[in-house]
Each structure stands twice: as structure tokens, then as C-alpha cells.
Structure 1
Amino acid sequence: MFQKIKYALIRFMQGRYGADALGRFLVWVALAFYILGLFIPYAWFLSYLGLATLIYTIFRMLSRNTARRTAENAWFWNKTAKLRTSFSQARVRFKNRKEYKYFRCPKCHAWLKLKRGAGEGTLTCGKCKHAFKAKA
């Protein structure tokens, strides 16, 4: 019985756009709006805003206009690229915090790393070639 339902759902979703990064983000935004609407007095409109966001997400998932949905997702990826990059770099810095000490170049603000236990040394920025003293 469940096989029939599974294949019917697969047949229904053929040619449709499905889930993507923008859709997952919109689901989290809708959930946040809904929860805020529950806990903040006189903010009932946030619950409705969350519901509208969820309906739009479902519309995007079931859409057959894949070119338009792909363009929307590409726009979302381009707008969030800087934020995603900074979070992934922060995660790497946090993971390696016991092995390396990280410094910012005073001129160009690029990240540089120095092995812990190396003592005091002169770091030279690979981007702008500015040299400065740092203590690990």
C-alpha cells in the first residue's frame, strides 16, 4: 500500500521544482514568525506572516516554472555568499583555535594564522605584504 503512495507522490513531483536552499531558509523564517507571533502579545500578524511565508514556500516547491525558481535560488545564494563565507571561516578558526592563533592584518584586515607556541614573531601579510609583530 505504501509503495503505491510513494510512486504516486514521485509521479506527482516529476517536473516540479522541489526543495532548495531558499525554500529551507523560508521554512525557518516562517517558523520564527509563527513562534514570535505566539509569544509576543498583540503581534498576531506575525503568525499570519509566517503562514503566508510557508504557503509561498510550498508554491515554490510545487512550481513547474523551474527556470524562475532556479533564478530565485541563485539570487539568494549570491546575496548570502558573504555571510556564509564569514560563518564557514569562523567555524574553521574555532575548530583550529588550539593549534593556531589568528590575527588580522592592520592594513587590509586579512586573516593570518600563527602556530601556537611559536613565541613572538613577525607576520607578513600575504595580501598586502605589510609586516607586523604578533605573539602566539
Structure 2
Amino acid sequence: MNNRLRQIGFLIQGWLSRALYGRNGFDNLARTCNAIALILLVINIFAQSVVVYFIWVVLFGYSLFRVYSKNITKRYAENQKFLQITESPRRYANLMRLQWRDREVSRYYICKKCHQQIRVPKGKGRIEIRCPKCGERFIKRT
């Protein structure tokens, strides 16, 4: 039984790779549209709103359009624009993830001049921090 499932998995993988050959594929914008569409689908299960359902259909359709599009250069430009627009929230989310992961041993600060993330050891008291990128100095408590 397990061997049969593995064979079916390889068949599906081969079919998907042939179907997506020469296509744009799953980029960040398509993944984000899929994630939002999934959230809207769950909301629509409880709310049963025609508007939410319509937005779900449009987002899911746009995501499929992006995945199967052969105009890779245009989809690439759209994805780069999306990444440029969402850079600030993504950097903030990454900083929050790093702060949570290293919360016991490190503190993270952002340079006011160049916005570089700086990690310093925790528990050293008041220290002078020098930004490695621009050389700006500031005093913070760790």
C-alpha cells in the first residue's frame, strides 16, 4: 500500500512539473493571494456572504492565472512591485520573529539613520552601540 502511494505521488509530481513547464509558477504574490483566499474561504464558511465569496473567487482565479501564465517577464515585474510594496511589513515581521527566537540572549535595535538591524547581547546594562553600516552611535539599555 505504501509503495502504491509513493508511485501515485511520483505520477502527480511528474504531471505537475509537465503542466507548469514554461509557466510562471508559484511566486510570492500567488502564494499571498492563495493564503488570503484560504482565509476568506474559512470566513465564508461561517459568514456565508456573497461578497466574501466573490472576493474569494477573484483572488483564487487571479492566483491560478499567475501560476499558469506564460508571460513570465510581466508576472516577474508584478511580483517585484509586490515585494517592493510589502518590504517594510516583511522586515518588521522578520524582526519580530528574530526577537522572539533570541529573546533570552539578545536584543535587537534598529539604527535611526540607516534602519539597519543590530543585535547586541542581553544583560550588559547601558552600552554604546555603533551601527556597522553607517557608524552612527547611540546608547541603549540591554
Structure 2 residues not aligned, in runs of 5+: 1-6
Give identity over the alignment, percent.
Answer: 24
Verify the 8 A CA contact 1:22 1:73 in the aligned structure 2: yes
- TM-score if structure 1 supplies the norm length? 0.74
Select 1:45's aligned residue among 23, 34, 51. Answer: 51
1:99 aligns with 2:105: yes
Give per-residue Cα distances to partners, 1:18-58, cap 9 Å, x unaligned.
111111110011111222222226x2210121012111111
Q: The residue matched to 2:59 in structure 1 has which SS?
A: helix
Quote how far apart the aligned CAs of 1:64 are. Answer: 1.0
Larger Rg: 1
Query: What does 1:94-133 correspond to in 2, within 5 Å?
Result: 94-102=100-108, 113-118=119-124, 120-126=125-131, 128-130=136-138, 132=139
Q: Take 1:133 and 1:64, find their aligned partners in 2: how far apart are those partners?
A: 52
Contact 1:38/1:44 (<8 A) preserved: no
Q: Structure 2: which amino acid aligns with 1:54?
A: F
* Equivalent-residue separation in structure 1 for 2:98 and 2:22 (angstroms): 39
CA contact (8 A) 2:128 2:137 kept: no
CA offsets, 1:62-88, max 9 Å, x none? 111111111111111111111111111
CA RMSD of aligned residues (A): 3.0
**Is the contact made by 1:101 and 1:115 (CA closer than 8 Å) also made in structure 2?**
yes
Partner of 2:71: 65
Structure 1 stretches lacking a partner, 5+ long:
none
SS of residue matched to 1:45: helix
TM-score by length of 2: 0.71
**Residue pair 1:101, 1:116 contacting (<8 A) in 2 also:** yes
Runs of 4 or more consecutive aligned structure 1 residues displaced over 4 Å after TM superposition? 1-9, 102-105, 107-114
CA distance in 2, matches of 1:8, 1:104: 47
> Which amino acid in 1 is paired with 2:128?
L
